[in-house]
Amino acid sequence: MKKYFIIMVCIIALFTAGCSAGAPAASDPPAPEPAEQGYAPAPPEILSGLINDEYDGLVFTVEVLERNAILPGMSFTATVLVENTGDKTLNYIQGSGSYETPEAVFLFSNTLQTVYPKDQLGLATMDFVAKELKPGESLLFKLPVMAIQPNPDFDLYTFELFNDTVFIADVDWTELQDRFPDLVAAAPGSYTVIAYFLYNISEEFDGGMTNIFDGPTGYAEASCTVTIS
């Protein structure tokens, strides 16, 4: 009986300590703003080992040119421009030949949900394509973003809807939240969206030329501020 009493006392003590640890103290810092909360993906690991601005002849920008206010839960478009103003040719990975948006160009945000481009969903050809960006040439892409907090299951939901021939960025927020209640709209405020372009420089070296199918060695980075009303 004494042994049982001691065990119960220990359990109660542990439970009490756990509750106390979870309760905010008077000196605790204030909770983060809603825009800081939610699932936050790590910066792209694909950038590891690559050189930022390896090529100084590249102009790379991202802008959000929406005319109307962006409301919580809405989708909007980030416009990415890649311009080769230098004197060397750049190689980049397109991915499947059926893609319109290359794998070498993508968006990232810690606080807003980026979306797979529509052309990268569904069936794709099995070929592997690399392309060149020659001096004087430019590329323009429009990439979707949603004014919701990043969610670890968002990509799964994207493919699930596309199997029903529905693009997630085209779905009304109320309908989307009804179907996936764990999605949370971004609070009004300012947010940052970052765009990346991965490439290698086509140039001569001992033994030949850089292969167009070689992986990237450098990347360009650009960011813009988005206001959610």
**54-67: average pLDDT:** 95
**Closest to 224 measured CA to CA, from 107, 146, 113, 141:** 107
Quick: pLDDT tens for 78-123.
999 999 999 999 999 999 999 999 999 999 999 999 999 999 998 8
Quick: pLDDT tens for 118-166.
999 988 888 999 999 999 999 999 999 999 999 999 999 999 999 999 9
Residue entry with tokens 């810092």: 29
pLDDT at 31 over 60: no
Residue 117 burial (CB count, 10 A) = 21
Q: Domains, the chain, ranges and CATH?
A: 55-228 (2.60.40.10)
pLDDT of residue 66: 87
| pLDDT greater at residue 202 or residue 61 | 61
Contact 82, 138 (CB under 8 A): yes
Lowest mean pLDDT among 18-22, 55-59, 80-84, 86-90: 18-22
| pLDDT greater at residue 2 or residue 57 | 57
pLDDT at 2 over 50: no
| pLDDT greater at residue 24 or residue 168 | 168
**Closest to 186 measured CA to CA, from 215, 218, 227:** 227
* Mean pLDDT over each residue of the chain, to the nearest integer: 84
Residue entry with tokens 């988005």: 226
Lowest mean pLDDT among 37-51, 87-101, 162-176, 190-204: 37-51
Q: What is the pTM of this model?
A: 0.79
Alpha carbon dihedral 140, 214, 44, 76, in 10-degree steps, equals 20
**178-201: average pLDDT:** 97
The pairing of beta strand 218-228 with beta strand 51-52: parallel
The conformational region for residue 73 under phi > 0 = left, psi -120 to 50 = alpha, else beta, is left
